[in-house]
Every structure is written in C-alpha cells, then in structure tokens.
Amino acid sequence: MNLNDNETEAVFRTEVQTFIKAEAPKAEKGVGGEEALTANWERNQQWFRKLADKGWIAPAWPTEYGGAGLSSMHQFVLNEELALNRVPRPLHLIIGLGMAGPTIIVHGTEEQKKEHLPGMLAGEDVWCQGYSEPGSGSDLASLQTKAVRDGDDYVINGQKIWTTLAHMAKKMILLARTDPDAPKHKGITYFIVDMKSPGVTVQPLMNMADTHEFNEVYFDNVRVPKENVIGEENRGWYSAMTTLDFERSAIGSTIGMKQSVETLIEYARGHTDDHTSTLDKNPMLRYELADRMIEVEMARMLSYRVVSLQNRGLIPNYEASMMKLYNTEMNQRIARTGQHILGLYGQLGRGSPLAPNNGRNCYTYLRSVAYTIEGGTSEVQRNIVAQRGLGLPRD
C-alpha cells in the first residue's frame, strides 16, 4: 500500500484541483452530504453534467461504457479532492454508480452493460436497492419475495423495506426467490426492475431524523423480462455479495468525517464565553476531540487499503467489512462528541434560531443511528471479519 501519489496520480490530482477551482459551484462551509445536494438542485445538476462530460462521474469505468478508463486510484483521488473542496457530489447516484454499476460490470452481459450503464454516467438515472424485507434483514437469505417464470418474463410478488431513494429511482436491483425448494442461499435470483412497471407501489418511511430517504416497496404481479437477470438464475446470492462488497467499501467518507471533527473543534474554540461545555470549562473534551481525530486518520488508512486492493483488480471482502464497521461506528462517536460540545443546544433541530450550525448536529446525531444498520449491521460485519479475515469457525 503506497500512501503517496505516483507520477500520473499527482498529475491527475493537479488537473482535478484546477478543474474544481474553475468550474465547481462555490462551497458552502459546514454544508455537506444531503444538504450540499439539495441546497441548489439545478446548479448542482449543471455541475454533475460537467463531471459527466469529462468522464468523471465514474472515471475508473471502461471508456466504452462512458467512463474515463482510469484506475481505481484515480477515482479515489477525484473523490478525495471533491470532498476536500466541499463541492457537491452526486450522492443521489451512489446506488447506481457505487453498487449496481460495478456489479453489472462484473456479472452482467455486454447488452446489459450497454443498456444500463450510460444513464448512470450521464447523471440521469437514479437507482435503488431491493434487498431487505420486513422479516429478512441481517438474515437476508431468508427473503420471501417471489419471482415465478412465465414465458419470457418473471412475475414478482412481495415486499421490500428500507429502500433508499425508491421514491426517486428509475430502476432497482432486486433479490427475489426463484426456487423455494432450494437451500436459502441457492434459490435467489438478481434482477433489474423498472420502477415504472405496473404493480410497483412505493410508500415513504420517515426516519427518526424526520427525513425521507427510506421507503417500502410492494410488488403485485410485476413482470420483469428474463433479459433483466444479472448472472445466473438461482445464483443471485453471489452477485448480491459483490454488490455488498462495493457498498461497504464506499460507506462513510473519511474526508467528510475529518471535516466534521474540525468543525467541532472550531466551534468549541469560538464559544468559550457562552457555553458550559467548551474546552476551557471541560478539558476532557480536548481528549475526546483528539481521539476522534486519531480515529479519522485510522479510517483513512483503512480506505487506502481498500482502494489499493481495487486498484489491483481485486474486490475487497472482509476488508470492506472492516471499513464499513469502523467508519459507521466512528460516525456515531463523532456525533456523540458533537452533542457533548453543544450541550442542550445540540437537541435543537433545523429551523430553530438558537440551533448551532442550523441544527445540523442534531440531525447528524439522529441519522447516525442508521449507519451501523444499513448495508449490514455491525454484528454481521464482525462475523465476516472473524470468519473470512481471521479464519475463525462459524458459531
């Protein structure tokens, strides 16, 4: 693992920095993530189109599918510079770009790649992920949504839950059971579903931070053509694990987390006279902030390890689970530290005139609860690391 840019990566980093300085919308300090995406939608869409024109929506994808044909390390450099400069990133495309697209590249046919990848790279197609069900979360292989072959189609019936961005999505990657008599991991097939298909119903789920990311999705005799199967029938579990490896390697931006800690430090230093939880009156907060900053640097090393594997053409497995586990739990620790610094003011949400940072800390604290659940719980990640990384036996 090399922590420094090589010659070509250094040249590319300079090119990205120059492009951001000339073309990116002005960054808003303290604003990121969902806020940066939604603050000025049309302006951001213009910015995303500029990225797409350079092939920088997914620069590591092959040129024949609309990427720039660069290495995974070049893509890492681009993502790092976008985060460092706090410019909007196409987060609404993350399921397509970060999960569905890479899986289609690995397991899809040439026709599927040509059909589905261009829309992702143009910044137009939003995707969602139909995995979890009301009775199948951590034990995903127990899913009960059924797909029955009928001529050239499959007929799908069932329900998915906690489906991020389903209310915006054009397409879904879906797991459904095609062989009810097979062992539960071997009777599942991986589909692409058009979200405008007759019989698809989306209902919103509000999270505890009072934002609408998640949804319930119902399937009532939804017909999906056989050409929309990714990989082999009844072997969709293997494609699904590829998707999860890509998802877990992408969850949590270490740059964003470092910026969050820096914002907390700046706030604590600037409010020594009007607060009861500042650094002068509570010296233990200094140690807590130092711990968070050290942990951010550790997370950066894990991210370098994952991208180094990807750059060698490998798909991180337990390494991605390590990164997902560490980053999401660290996100929660950063959120708790923020509440310690803000005291009771940290309970004030968006819209309150007394809320520090426009209530962003309150939102982050509430939203962070989901981080260790979505994409596989911390318990699931620990089992993967134990079994596949350390070679320990199953329980």
Tell me the average pLDDT across 364-382.
90
Q: Write down the pLDDT at residue 199.
A: 98
The CA–CA distances, whole Å, from 320 to 249, 287, 314 equal: 4, 29, 12
Q: How confident is the model at residue 337 (pLDDT cuts 50, 70, 90)?
A: very high
Mean pLDDT of the chain: 87
Q: Give me the percent of the chain exceeding a pLDDT of 70.
A: 91
The per-residue pLDDT for range 210-245, each reduced to its tens digit, is 888 899 999 999 999 999 999 999 999 999 988 877
Question: Domain 251-389 - what CATH class?
Answer: mainly alpha
Joined together, the tokens standing for residue 165 give 């961005």
- What is the CATH code for 127-235? 2.40.110.10
Q: Over 60: is that where the pLDDT of 16 sits?
A: yes
One-character DSSP codes across 48-71: HHHHHHTT-SSTTS-GGGTS----
Band the pLDDT of 28: cuts 50, 70, 90. Answer: low
Other beta carbons less than 10 A from residue 188's beta carbon: 25
pLDDT in tens, 186-219: 999 999 999 999 999 999 999 888 888 899 999 9
The whole-number pLDDT of residue 33 equals 47
| pLDDT of res. 268 | 84
Domain ranges of the chain: 7-89, 127-235, 251-389
User: What predicted TM-score, i.e. pTM, was given to this entire model?
Assistant: 0.82
Is 391's pLDDT higher than 90?
yes
CA dist., res. 251 & res. 376, Å (int): 11
**∠132-135-136 over CA atoms, to 5°?**
40
Reference 346, options 293, 267, 252; nearest CA is: 267
Q: Which residues are the active-site residues?
A: 247
Work out the number of other CB atoms within 10 angstroms of the CB of residue 126: 21
Residue closest to 173 by CA, chosen among 265, 99, 232: 99
CA distance 175 to 194: 14
- The CATH superfamily assigned to 7-89 is Acyl-CoA dehydrogenase/oxidase, N-terminal domain (1.10.540.10)
